[in-house]
A and B are shown apart, each in its own frame.
Chain A
Amino acid sequence: METSEASKPEHPTSFSKKSAFFFRYVTVFRFFIAVLLPITTLLLTGQNLSQFNHNTGWSYAFIHPEHTLRNLREGQFFLDHYKSRNSIKGIRLEQFQGLQNAYRSERGFFHLPPLSLVVFQPFFLLSKSLNYTLSSIISGDQNATLYSSNIIFCIQEVLFGILFILIDMKVAYLLMNLSQKLCNLRSERVTSSNCNYKGDFAGLTSIFRPFESYEREMELQMDCLIRPENGYLFGMPTLGNEPSFAQNEDETKSNGADSDEKKVEQKEYIQMNKTEASLPSVSITLPFSSISTCIFFVYYCNPIIIASSIYFHSFQGLFHFVYVAILLRAYNGNAPLAALLLSLWNYFEGLYPMLHMVSVILLVSRRHNTQKSAMGSIGYFCLWSFFLFYISNALIKDDSKDGAIWMDWVHPHSHNLGYNGLHPSLGVLWYFFIQVFFRFTDFFVILFKAIPCVFLVPLSLRLWRYPLELVRQVSYYSICLTNWLLFLQIDSFFMIISLYHCHS
């Protein structure tokens, strides 16, 4: 039976020989493309890749146009420009003040938060130093530079391509790790400290056990009428197994004639279903040895993700990494780290990720089973968020201009929060804001942003025992009322549902 195979302990890094070979092959292929594609484009056309793929239908469909290397270069331009003008002062903090014009102007030039440049600053510096090194090798003069922006851009594209491959690899690994936890494919020592789930039947056995094993046990006892038809694909018990009422034959002996008639009907039904549906339960397996390996390869070898990372140089994989890491940390009960990652995501994406704080609190509190952990999660989140916004404000602070303090905090995020300058995408809000009259824009922005928050409070009060229903409702509103973040909300929705099943 596949159930026994699926429940075998498996180390997250252990692949079968075929899978390991496939992983190496794809990794080499990805590195090969990441290095050769920018160089070949430069040699053949004299241009860099971003000149080809910018502002095309492909880029609008595949990626968020602002989460790209090209957009980071624009921010870097402001930074470099100010650096050269104020190099005499030598004060490090003031070097970043060139960015203030990017946010302070009426339309704004740079639409990512300032810390995004700080995150990627080492790679820009590395590309510059590589440019100097290459020029010194070619010309023999140590002070020479190639003076070609295309060459620097090519170096950046190669470096970022390699970085994004590593990020994708990490995301795939974390997904596999999370899957193994959820599907109970990985053996874990269950103690009262690392798992406090106590199901309804835990009182009978007097032990603590994870929800995965509990649900698997329940599936074995499940009535054949409510078992999933396609369960055999995932190693679940199918109609071929004996259902609960057939197993508990002895228990129903004392129920008289009614139960006997019922039993006869049920047996007839079982026999009927056995003849119809016992064939699939033989051995049909997924293409890979386990679901977690399948998830790893579906993500890592996905052509869309490869194209986004290597061809379009989109750093959305970084948000996926943060997102999966939040859920993994919250699942493990690590509130400080989960709150830090959530605050980072909230800083970069603005407002909507904050709604998932409720889910993080539920996950952490279920793990630790204390209210302190919930309050601790909120406290850590507020602390980290304040810290991030304070640093961000310090980087772009402009003392020469008057204005409300909160405006300095909001300016870097105004583009994201206010649905400004939307590009065409596969969502529908860009079209809505084209059609709406300008005088109503603020009203709809506030409406779209506030509705999920307004619904969150009563739903949290009513459904605090049922995180599935709570998250579903909140996610529905978020899905309907966001633009770029639309699918990140759907991701969260799917993931939280999965986690709910493992904790509730």
Chain B
Amino acid sequence: MNLHDSVFALITLLLSPQTIARMDLQRVSVALLALIVPISLFIMDSWLWLNTGSGNANYLYFQCLAFTAFLGTILLEFVFASVKRDKALRLTEKNMKLSKYEKHLSPNTQ
């Protein structure tokens, strides 16, 4: 996992605007902004561990964990939004079908 790929992943989110519209943008914004913290600390901790020798691998691991958690938040939010979008479409189809069906039956009942 690296920033180049993760940025590409986030950009591809824009390919489905109907889904983004259903995402909790506040939560996603917080997660996106929070990503900066583990990334910057990852870079600093790797310098501490591998260059100066005053850190260890655990420092890096917790930054990786935080990074994965924040990114997972965005991913899950996208999944929920996708499900909402699909559900909304199905409900609309169902509603339309019912109305057409009622329209079809109404002359017979009268």
Give chain A's interface residues, CB within 8 Å of chain B. 55-58, 60-64, 175, 178-179, 182-183, 200-201, 204, 215, 218-219, 221-223, 226-231, 233-236, 244-245, 248, 251-252, 254-255, 291, 294-295, 298-299, 302, 304-305, 308, 314, 316-317, 320, 424-428, 431, 434, 468, 472, 479, 483-484, 486-488, 490-491, 493-495, 497-498, 501, 504
In the bound complex, residues from chain A placing their C-beta under 8 Å from that of B88 are 222, 226-227
B57's contact among A222, A431, A493, by CB below 8 Å, is which?
A: A431
Given A427-B1, A487-B5, the answer on whether A434 and B57 have CB atoms closer than 8 Å is yes
In the bound complex, residues from chain B placing their C-beta under 8 Å from that of A317 are 4
> Can you list 14 A-B contacts (CB < 8 A)?
A218-B93, A223-B91, A230-B21, A231-B21, A234-B20, A299-B11, A304-B3, A424-B60, A426-B6, A483-B1, A490-B9, A497-B78, A497-B82, A501-B82
In the bound complex, residues from chain A placing their C-beta under 8 Å from that of B38 are 426
List 4 additional contacts besides A183-B17, A200-B97, A218-B93; criterion CB under 8 Å: A64-B2, A223-B92, A314-B4, A501-B85
In the bound complex, residues from chain A placing their C-beta under 8 Å from that of B15 are 175, 178-179, 182-183, 295, 494-495, 498
Given A231-B21, A244-B95, the answer on whether A426 and B3 have CB atoms closer than 8 Å is yes
In the bound complex, residues from chain B placing their C-beta under 8 Å from that of A302 are 7, 11
Q: Is the CB of A487 within 8 A of B21?
A: no
In the bound complex, residues from chain B placing their C-beta under 8 Å from that of A175 are 11-12, 15
Question: Lowest 7 A-B CB distances belong to which pairs?
Answer: A57-B46, A487-B5, A427-B1, A234-B17, A228-B21, A57-B43, A498-B16
Q: In chain B between 26 and 75, which residues have their CB closer than 8 angstroms to a CB of chain A? A: 38-39, 42-47, 50, 57, 60-61, 63-65, 67-68, 71, 75
B75's contact among A234, A295, A427, A490, by CB below 8 Å, is which?
A: A490
Q: Is the CB of B47 within 8 A of A204?
A: no
Report the Cα distance A494→B23, complex, angstroms.
14
Report the Cα distance A55→B67, complex, angstroms.
20
Q: Is the CB of B3 within 8 A of A308?
A: yes
**Chain B contact residues, majority secondary structure:** helix
Q: How many residues of B contact A (CB 8 A)?
A: 64
Smallest CB separation, A267 vs chain B (Å): 17
Q: Is the CB of A298 within 8 A of B12?
A: no
B96's contact among A61, A63, A201, A305, by CB below 8 Å, is which?
A: A201
Smallest CB separation, B96 vs chain A (Å): 6
In the bound complex, residues from chain B placing their C-beta under 8 Å from that of A504 are 86
Q: In chain B between 69 and 110, which residues have their CB closer than 8 angstroms to a CB of chain A? A: 71, 75, 78-79, 82, 84-89, 91-93, 95-97, 99-100, 102-103, 106, 109-110
Report the Cα distance A294→B71, complex, angstroms.
22
Smallest CB separation, B35 vs chain A (Å): 10
In the bound complex, residues from chain A placing their C-beta under 8 Å from that of B8 are 299, 305, 320, 487, 491
In the bound complex, residues from chain B placing their C-beta under 8 Å from that of A244 are 92, 95-96, 99
Task: Return the chain A residue nearest B39 by Cβ.
Answer: A61
Most chain B C-beta atoms within 10 Å of own C-beta, residue among A218, A227, A234, A494: A494
Smallest CB separation, A146 vs chain B (Å): 33
Q: Is the CB of A494 within 8 A of B9?
A: yes
Smallest CB separation, B90 vs chain A (Å): 10
Smallest CB separation, A65 vs chain B (Å): 9
Report the Cα distance A221→B90, complex, angstroms.
12
Q: Is the CB of A427 within 8 A of B95?
A: no
Smallest CB separation, B25 vs chain A (Å): 6
In the bound complex, residues from chain B placing their C-beta under 8 Å from that of A223 are 91-92, 95
In the bound complex, residues from chain A placing their C-beta under 8 Å from that of B20 are 230, 234
B65's contact among A218, A428, A501, by CB below 8 Å, is which?
A: A428
Report the Cα distance A182→B12, complex, angstroms.
12
Report the Cα distance A61→B11, complex, angstroms.
18
Task: Return the chain A residue nearest B89 by Cβ.
Answer: A218
B19's contact among A245, A299, A501, by CB below 8 Å, is which?
A: A501
